[in-house]
Amino acid sequence: MATTLNINGKDETIDAAPGTPLLWVLRDHLKMTGTKFGCGVAQCGACTVHVDGAPTRSCITAHDSLDGAKVTTIEGVQGRAADAIREVWVKNDVPQCGYCQSGQIMAATALLAENSSPSDEDIDAAMSGNICRCATYMSIRRAIKEAAS
């Protein structure tokens, strides 16, 4: 049964099995591979997207539960917070391999949109769900603070 999803401001008709997580709809059906698979069990944050602005783990979110919601992915995220995060990410060469960084950017953007001057504790709370095996954590912390200032 086809479902219609609003992704990055555009309505997309999805023909995937009921219960298929948004992650695989984005990646395999819509070929939007910016959103990454890391664990499949909401433990690593690589699959983070925004649903109505809130950071959401797309790997455990059934696509057909999102009727009427606005989904934003790394390919489409924009606005003041997203622009500021992208700018400091590039300026400071924050990513290494980059694989987890879509999720990191989505989480950091949501944090900054909510909280314009996050403390270390705020950053820990918002970002500890996003694993980076290259360990860009210190760079991310510095960059979020720079983006906020």
Tell me how far apart the alpha carbons of residues 149 and 144 are, in angstroms, rounded to a whole number: 9
**Comparison of 6 and 96: residue with beta carbon closer to another protein:** 96
Q: Which residues contact 95 (CB under 8 A, 6 or more apart)?
A: 89, 101, 104, 134, 136
What's the min distance (Å) between Cβ of 139 and another protein?
7
Structure tokens at 131: 């694993």
CB of 11 to another protein, least distance (A): 20
Residues found near another protein in the complex (CB under 8 A): 16-17, 20-21, 24, 27-29, 31-41, 43-44, 46, 73-75, 86, 89-90, 93-102, 105, 120, 123-125, 127-141
Min CB(76)–another protein separation in Å: 9
> Phi and psi for 21 in degrees, rounded to 5?
-60, 145
